[in-house]
Chains A and B, each alone.
Chain A
Amino acid sequence: MTLLEIHEPGETPLPHAGEGSLAVGIDLGTTNSVVAIARQGKPAALHDEVGRALVPSVVAYPGAGGVRVGDEARQLMASEPRNVVASVKRLMGRGAADLHAVAGVLPYEIEPGTGETDMVKLRIGGKARSPVEISAEILKALRNRAEAALEKPVERAVITVPAYFDDAARTATRDAARVAGLEVLRLVNEPTAAALAYGLDKGSEGLYAVYDLGGGTFDFSLLRLEKGVFQVLATGGDTALGGDDFDRAIAERMLAERNRDGLGDRVDEAAVKTTLALARHMKEQLSDREQTSARLELAGVPSFHALGRADFEAMIRRYIGRTIDIARDVLRDAGVTAAEVQGVVLVGGSTRVPLVRAAVARLIGRPPLTDIDPDEVVALGAALQAEALTGGGDSLLLDVAPLSLGLETMGGIVEKIVPRNTPIPVQLAQDFTTYQDGQGAMAIHVVQGEREMVADCRSLARFELLGIPPMTAGAARIRVTFAVDADGLLTVSAQERTTGVAQRVEVKPSYGLSHEDMADMLYDSLEHAEEDMNARLLTEARVEARRSLLALEAALAKDGALLSSEERAAIDTGRARLEAAMAAGDRDEINAAAETLETLSKPFAERRMDRGIRDALSGLSVEQLERRVGE
């Protein structure tokens, strides 16, 4: 017999029932960011109301107050340059000492970090803000977009990072997600995510390379695809090389031309930002044509600039040459020749530059793969991984540690414990000994990088193993263990093996956030809690309303005949009002309309219930009934 379905209060009999909070994939890029979702192995980027997938990674703190992200923030660049931050990803996990890498790129006032942390802060909108805090604003905007598009709360994400991001930058990214209220399911390397997007789509097997040239970073990775397993063999890159460098080359040339013509510019922040924006436009135009020209106006003084593709290519050749050198190194690391590579995936907007495509094609000896939008491919792969991690999907991602991890030994020499390209998670140990008789403590200095001397590597953490019992030099056995988890994050522990004295640290990189900073930021986010809460409540009201509408539609399709035409008309009016309220985004109106609709459809629901029971019982004898009740 047909049993009546009775649902838990608040649950729905409709498709996607019980699908708690969703997990999205986020490409948090230097220039643009994208959020995507995968369902049943089909990933899709989430668009705004006018259909744009890309959110410019630009954050503004306008003089008028509040925070703007994306295109709205970019529009403020010319009028309020001091209140707008772009390319903040370049500063993630960076200390004051690293600033040579970005010198001249960022016309902001930069302050060295204070207290526990060395991470720089930017003075924006009259307040010192850390890159983590600024990135968190971008993540919040992406989360809001996802919740609006999916009409569901979004609390978990897979976030991509450049393979070459070091421990400090990875930790900073995780912290930013936390400030934005997102649980990070996994940090996935961008090239790996791109390969996921291609591999699952095509069921490819064999060796593939991913050439990822974004706005500010370059990565090259080599992967093997086999029966749903994505094995990263080797990876390499440069965290300060990208399309922004092309823009800067063009901008510098335009400013030099104006200087030559005696226009006497005072090159301030607004001038730099205006010139860079124009330079980017010219660069993009040169992807499809041989010549471009532009009119630049600074402080009311116009100038005209022509640029041919050949000239542009001469300006950027050295940057592209460097990417090809890195790619060769990666192939060499993996012991693979270029001819063995079956395909190269292009990722990042900068791979639209024809010279880039030509250089990659020459390296590998075949044209690169470009069928997935290079701006979206990383987010799509991240979405697939998010789905795989939350229960769907059967693919498996085997990633590697992109940079060597080691310890400082006598004389400032690095002893590598985890060589680069070691598959992760991994736990590796090495024994060290004391240098002096009776030495009671040992300083452990953890570093990351490929160079032999500590001074040339990045310092990640320092701690001391205390309480080593007095022994002659060289007698103690100190075992230092490095554990790298699947996100590429490191924990180091040390133990004196003859006595068992142990010490363990989570490597909180020196460039990470101090606890105070983290507390401040969480406090700040509480200040916005009301706005955030309102947005959340609206999303929930919409989700609830959508559920009841779908349930009602299903019931009408099945049992619509139970209604008189007047009753049907009243319900239809109620449905239309609720739809309108949902579109308008007024939470109180949505709740009111939903309540009215429920009242209107109550008699219908009761009649369906009666009929359901009648149907279930009809044609049964008393005996059968009794038996059924007794079951």
Chain B
Amino acid sequence: MDHFARLGLPAALELEPASLDRAYFALQRQWHPDRFANRPAEERARASAEAAALNDAYRTLKDPLSRAFYLAELKGVALPGDGKTIDDPDLLMEAMEAREALHEAQTVEAIDKLAVEARDEVKQALGNLGTLFLRGDKPAIRKALLRLRYLDKFADEARTRRANLERSSA
């Protein structure tokens, strides 16, 4: 059973966080091992496996980026492993320039600006991705997902750098 089906949700990129939570909480109420504390070992084991599968599904679908990757996998889009290779020359250039800018940013404000830009780009790219999925354009989905993976990593690096900078100045 795929993660969407397990939670009783349509397999789509668009997903209201509130409806995901609602579905997840309702099913955990039913399957969480705490509900089976006084039941025979066999039932407990089954509940535990079900709760674990629900947690995996929830965790995967909750984050829009990981949801996008999962959906792509379901739709048969082939992505390179979690390697750091970027095989798209445009993306490679964008990444190099952004890294340089981050390296040169010496204030919290300057880093914040870069991080905000990266987050906005993520939002925009995710928005476009919805259309690509509807069109079923696999090469375009692949290209967009690789860019999203890079942008996410970049936002993460910016956050870490900001935290380090804050700490050393505190």
Binding site for B on A (CB under 8 A): 185-186, 226-227, 229, 231, 321, 325, 328-329, 332, 388-391, 396-398, 422-428, 483, 485-486
Contact = CB atoms under 8 A, between A and B. Distances in A.
Contacts of B53: 427
A425 B55 contact: yes
Contacts of B48: 425, 485-486
Contacts of A229: 25, 28-29
A485 B33 contact: yes
A305 B98 CA distance: 58
Interface in B1-50: 21, 25, 28-29, 32-35, 37-38, 48-49
A258 to B, nearest CB: 34
Given A329-B163, A332-B159, A423-B58, A396 B37 contact: no
A398 B163 contact: no
Interface in B120-170: 159, 163, 167, 170
11 contacts: A186-B34, A229-B28, A229-B29, A325-B167, A329-B163, A398-B28, A427-B49, A427-B52, A427-B53, A428-B56, A485-B48
A186 B33 CA distance: 10
A321 B55 contact: no
A423 B59 contact: yes
B38 A390 contact: yes
A391 B34 CA distance: 10
Most buried by B among A390, A397, A426: A426
A426 B56 contact: yes
Report, nearest first, the 8 A-B pairs whose CB atoms are least far apart. A423-B55, A389-B37, A427-B52, A425-B52, A486-B33, A426-B55, A229-B25, A426-B52
A227 B18 CA distance: 13
Interface of B: 21, 25, 28-29, 32-35, 37-38, 48-49, 51-53, 55-56, 58-59, 159, 163, 167, 170
Given A332-B159, A426-B55, A226 B38 contact: no
Nearest to B49: A427
Nearest to A385: B34
Given A226-B21, A227-B25, A332-B159, A427 B33 contact: no
Contacts of A332: 159, 163
A483 B163 contact: no
Contacts of A423: 55, 58-59
B84 to A, nearest CB: 14
A420 B118 CA distance: 24
A328 B163 contact: yes
Contact of A396 (B29, B49, B52): B29
Contacts of B38: 390-391
A321 B170 contact: yes
B147 to A, nearest CB: 21
Contacts of B29: 229, 396
Nearest to B56: A426
Contacts of B35: 396
Contacts of A325: 167
A214 to B, nearest CB: 24
Contacts of B170: 321
Contacts of B167: 325
A422 B28 contact: no
B20 to A, nearest CB: 12
A427 B163 contact: no
A424 B21 CA distance: 16
A424 B28 contact: no
B52 A483 contact: yes
B59 A389 contact: no
A398 B32 contact: yes
Most buried by A among B29, B52, B53, B59: B52
A329 to B, nearest CB: 7
A427 B56 contact: yes
Given A229-B28, A427-B49, 8 more contacts: A186-B34, A226-B21, A389-B37, A396-B35, A398-B32, A425-B48, A427-B53, A486-B33
Nearest to A395: B34
Contacts of A391: 38
B103 to A, nearest CB: 21
Contacts of B56: 426-428
Contacts of A397: 34
A328 B170 CA distance: 13
Nearest to A486: B33
Contact of B55 (A226, A329, A422): A422
A486 B59 contact: no
A535 to B, nearest CB: 27
A226 B28 CA distance: 13
Contacts of B51: 425, 486
A231 B20 CA distance: 14
A68 to B, nearest CB: 35
A10 B32 CA distance: 36
Contacts of B159: 332
Nearest to A483: B52
Contact of A425 (B21, B33, B37, B59): B33
Nearest to B170: A321
Most buried by B among A186, A396, A425: A425
Contacts of A422: 55, 59
A396 B59 contact: no
Contacts of A328: 163
A396 B163 contact: no
Contacts of A231: 25
B37 A390 contact: yes
Contacts of B33: 425, 485-486
Nearest to B166: A328
A255 B55 CA distance: 53
A227 B49 CA distance: 24
A396 B32 CA distance: 8
B58 A226 contact: no
A185 B167 CA distance: 41
A25 B29 CA distance: 22
A517 B58 CA distance: 41
Given A426-B56, A486-B48, A185 B37 contact: yes
Nearest to A419: B59
Nearest to B63: A335
B160 to A, nearest CB: 9
A423 B59 CA distance: 8
Given A328-B163, A396-B28, A424 B55 contact: yes
A231 B29 CA distance: 12
B39 to A, nearest CB: 11
B167 to A, nearest CB: 7
Contacts of B52: 425-427, 483
A396 B35 CA distance: 8
Nearest to A324: B170
A467 to B, nearest CB: 27
B163 A389 contact: no
B25 A486 contact: no
Contacts of B37: 185-186, 389-390
A486 B38 CA distance: 15
Contacts of B163: 328-329, 332
A328 B167 CA distance: 11
B119 to A, nearest CB: 11
Contacts of A185: 37
